[in-house]
Amino acid sequence: MKEKLVEYRCHQVRNGSTYLKFRLCDTPGLDDAHGIGEGDLEAILDGQVPDRYTFHPFSPITTDNPEYIKSPSINDKIHCAAFFIDGGSVDVMNDSILSKFKLLQKLANQRGVPQVILLTKVDQIGLEVEDNLSNLLHSSKVVYVVDQVAQLTGLPRGHVLPVKNYEKETELNETVDKYALLSLEQMLQSADDFMYGILDA
């Protein structure tokens, strides 16, 4: 089987010319053929994978790799893990992907890393949301899917955060942004809690 090479990216977030004090790190998904394995997942959580590292699905990063970060700082480590789940695919979620999700969840729990789920494409779950995005948090169909995801993953319902993707829009939309920013705020609060736990230990 031919390897599909995928890159790890850490993005600094800016407000104008000022960098904010957090980063968003992006990993490959958990799909069957090309998702990253346990060794790489552990290395990511522990801050041992550098920005722009190229993953090889059949050979995880090891201490022998010259790019491996042997003495990561607290800034290199993951402080909150966010998973993206398509709101329209919950009923047909692959058992293998769910199993890999549970593995990542276990690794994060061992390190005390909080987790959230960003439930995407929620506007496609119900017409009342598609017609008026402000109905998102009050839609019975969205609430049902949020409950489904919470049960599947074992995370608290409040850690499943519905958001809408920018898809057809050609300009910024305040309502779309509001749900994304609410989710980001919860992730940053979770990361703060993780940091306080380390400082108070």
Q: Looking at the structure, do residues 105 and 37 belong to the same domain, yes or no?
A: no
Amino acid at 128: E
Same domain for 54 and 92? Answer: no
Statement to judge: residues 57 and 143 lie in one domain: no
Q: How far apart are CA 34 and CA 129, in angstroms?
A: 33
Based on the domain organization, do 83 and 106 belong to the same domain? yes
Same domain, 12 and 44: yes
Q: Name all contacts of 72-78 with Cβ < 8 Å and 24+ positions apart.
A: 72/46, 72/47, 72/48, 73/47, 74/47, 74/195, 74/198, 75/47, 76/47, 76/48, 77/45, 77/46, 77/47, 78/25, 78/44, 78/45, 78/47, 78/108, 78/113
- Position 52 scores a pLDDT of 94
Asked if residue 87 lies in contact with residue 162, where contact means CB atoms within 8 angstroms, the answer is: yes
Give residue 166's pLDDT: 86
Separation of alpha carbons 177 and 152, rounded Å:
27
pLDDT tens for residues 134-180? 777 778 888 899 999 999 999 999 999 999 888 877 888 888 898 89
Residues 148 and 201 in one domain: yes
22 and 35 inside one domain: yes
Task: Please give the Cα distance from 99 to 197 (Å, whole number).
Answer: 28
* Amino acid making up residue 191: A
CA–CA dist 136, 126 (Å, integer): 9
Give the per-residue pLDDT at 91: 81
The total of structural domains in the chain comes to 2
**Looking at the structure, do residues 101 and 62 belong to the same domain, yes or no?**
no
Domain termination residue (choose one: 50, 78, 106):
78
- Of 45, 78, 111, the one marking the end of a domain is 78
CB 48 within 8 A of CB 69: yes
Same domain assignment for residues 73 and 88? no
Query: Same structural domain for residues 53 and 141?
Result: no
pLDDT (0 to 100) of residue 67: 95
Q: pLDDT under 70 in the chain at which residues?
A: 1-5, 31-35, 126-131, 201
Considering the domain architecture, whether residues 132 and 188 belong to the same structural domain is answered as yes
* Structural domain harbouring 97: 79-201
Identify the pLDDT of residue 131.
62
The three-state secondary structure class of 19 is strand
Give the span between the Cα atoms of 121 and 88, in whole angstroms: 7
Beta-bridge partners for 55 = 6
Closest CA to 77 of 38, 45, 49, 51: 45
Residues 47 and 85 in one domain: no
Domain boundary among 78, 104, 136: 78
Q: What is the reported pLDDT for 93?
A: 80
